[in-house]
Structure 1
Amino acid sequence: MDYAPLTWSSCPPSYLSLLEKVQARAQRLIRLKVLPDQLLCPLQPLQQRRGVAGLCVVYTTHKQHVPYLAALRQPRARPHGHTTRAAASRDHQLIVPFARTETSLRSFLPRYTIMLNRMVQQTQLHSTSSLQTFKSAVNAWIKQP
Structure 2
Amino acid sequence: MEYAPLTWSSCPPSYLSLLDKVQARAQRLIRLKALQDQLLPPLQPLQQRRDVAGLCVVYKTLKQHAPHLAFLRQPWARPHGHTTRTAATRDHQLIVPFARTETSLRSFLPRYKRMWNRMVQQTQLHSTSSLHTFKSVLNAWIKQP
TM-score band (shorter)? over 0.9
Query: Where does 1:55-66 land on structure 2 (aligned, <5 Å)?
Result: 55-66=55-66
What's the CA shift for 1:20? Answer: 0.4
Q: Which residue of 2 aligns with 1:113?
A: 113
Q: Which residue of 2 aligns with 1:24?
A: 24
What's the CA shift for 1:9? Answer: 0.3
Is structure 2 residue 84 aligned with structure 1 residue 51? no
Query: Where does 1:1-145 land on structure 2 (aligned, <5 Å)?
Result: 1-145=1-145
Runs of 4+ in 1 over 4 A off after TM superposition: none
- Matches of 1:23 and 1:38, distance apart in 2: 20
- Matches of 2:140 and 2:73, distance apart in 1: 25
SS of match in other structure, 1:61: helix
Q: Percent identity?
A: 86
SS of match in other structure, 2:117: helix
> Given the two structures, how large is their TM-score scaled by the length of structure 2?
0.99
Question: How many equivalent residue pairs?
Answer: 145
| 1:60 counterpart letter in structure 2 | K
SS of match in other structure, 1:81: coil
- Matches of 2:64 and 2:29, distance apart in 1: 39
- Matches of 1:126 and 1:61, distance apart in 2: 12
> Given the two structures, how large is their TM-score scaled by the length of structure 1?
0.99
- Aligned-residue CA RMSD in angstroms? 0.5
- Matches of 1:61 and 1:131, distance apart in 2: 11
| 2:22 counterpart letter in structure 1 | V
What's the CA shift for 1:97? Answer: 1.6
Any unmatched runs of 5+ in structure 1? none
